[in-house]
Amino acid sequence: MNQKSKKIHDIIFQNRVKLHLFETSQRKIWTIVGKEKEHWIDPELNFCSCSGYYFGMLKNKKPCYHIESIHIAKQEKKFETIKFFDEEYNSFITGLLAEL
């Protein structure tokens, strides 16, 4: 198993993939709990807030391993869903952006 595959395996099997679901609107925010902070991922846009994504896209146009982790976790249904009320959306986004 190469280093990238090991990282993806660890993320999925350590339950670090989170789906934040806001009710009743059904808005979704995907995150991965990292070693130092949480990373925001938009799997539909193939975007991740980590620095590896930014530099990888600049250098070789390849997204980071977090994005692949989300896709695999979704396929295998190996993620934690955390439900919120719609009224909590703004404070959640503010907190997430503060970590960036």
Q: How far apart are CA 70 and CA 86, in angstroms?
A: 23
pTM confidence score: 0.88
> Domain residues of the chain, as ranges?
3-99
Query: From first to last of its 100 residues, what are the pLDDT tens digits of the chain?
Result: 799 899 999 999 999 999 999 999 999 999 999 888 899 999 999 999 998 888 888 788 788 999 999 999 999 999 999 999 999 999 999 988 887 7
